[in-house]
Amino acid sequence: MKRNKKERQILLQETIKLNPFITDEDLAEKFTVSVQTIRLDRLELSIPELRERIKHVAEKNLENQVKSLPMDEVIGEVIDLELDQSAISIFDVMNEHVFKRNQIARGHHLFAQANSLAVAVINDELALTAKANILFTRQVKEGERIIAKAKVKSLEQEKGRTLVEVMSYVGNELVFSGEFMMYRSKKLKKDVD
């Protein structure tokens, strides 16, 4: 359904507010207009391009520092992090991540993104993967963007373990899922009043 410019721009703002990681191409398809029209709308509305929106979201969350490993060891770009709760990272599949003969991403890159995000979400100096149960649900090709979402499912304080679920998507399509049992320090730190 075609909308007039004003309606489209209002919906565009709402859509980007709900999902700041949506691409111009996806927006063009959603609103049945050209990518150029979306770019002009964003320019008029002072909405930055995707890369800038991602950077803004990441900077907003800098107060939640990863404790379990250095940020440069996380595979992908962490854009949201709530320690011991949830985290999101983005990984762009480039030429160096794929098999040359078919441009399909090597599975260890998807696993590495998910596993490092499971480590990063742990609010502890020590976090090690004890066990992983993973499933690849679709091949990922060069040029696609993987958005991994980690969620802490359970904290077993007395055992020093945390179960983290990671779901990875290309667009709205699930491409990888995993459950990671993480070892951490035996005692979880308590907040002191």
Give the residue extent of every domain in the chain. Answer: 5-57, 61-184
How many percent of the chain have pLDDT more than 90? 58
Q: Quote the CA–CA distance of 106 and 139 in Å, as a whole number.
A: 9
Please determine, looking at this structure, whether the domain spanning 61-184 carries the CATH number 3.10.129.10. yes
pLDDT given for residue 65 in this prediction: 66
CA angle at residue 145 from 85 to 152, to 5 degrees?
15
Model confidence at 190: pLDDT above 70: no
Q: Quote the CA–CA distance of 111 and 54 in Å, as a whole number.
A: 22
Q: What is the DSSP string of 26-79?
A: HHHHHHTS-HHHHHHHHHHTTPPPHHHHHHHHHHHTTTS---SS-GGGSSSEEE
Q: Quote the CA–CA distance of 192 and 120 in Å, as a whole number.
A: 23
Q: What is the DSSP string of 85-147?
A: TEEEEEEE--GGGB-TTT-BBPHHHHHHHHHHHHHHT--SS-EEEEEEEEEE-S--BTT-EEE
Please determine, looking at this structure, whether the domain spanning 5-57 carries the CATH number 3.40.50.2000. no
Query: What confidence tens digit (pLDDT) does each residue in 12-61 have?
Result: 999 988 888 788 999 999 999 999 999 999 999 988 887 777 766 665 55
How many percent of the chain have pLDDT more than 70? 84
Model confidence at 192: pLDDT above 70: no
Model confidence at 111: pLDDT above 60: yes
pLDDT given for residue 93 in this prediction: 96
User: Per the confidence metrics, is the pTM higher than 0.85?
Assistant: no
pLDDT given for residue 62 in this prediction: 46
Q: What DSSP designation does 153 have?
A: E
End-to-end CA distance of the chain: 56
Domain 61-184 in the same topology as domain 5-57 = no
Model confidence at 100: pLDDT above 80: yes
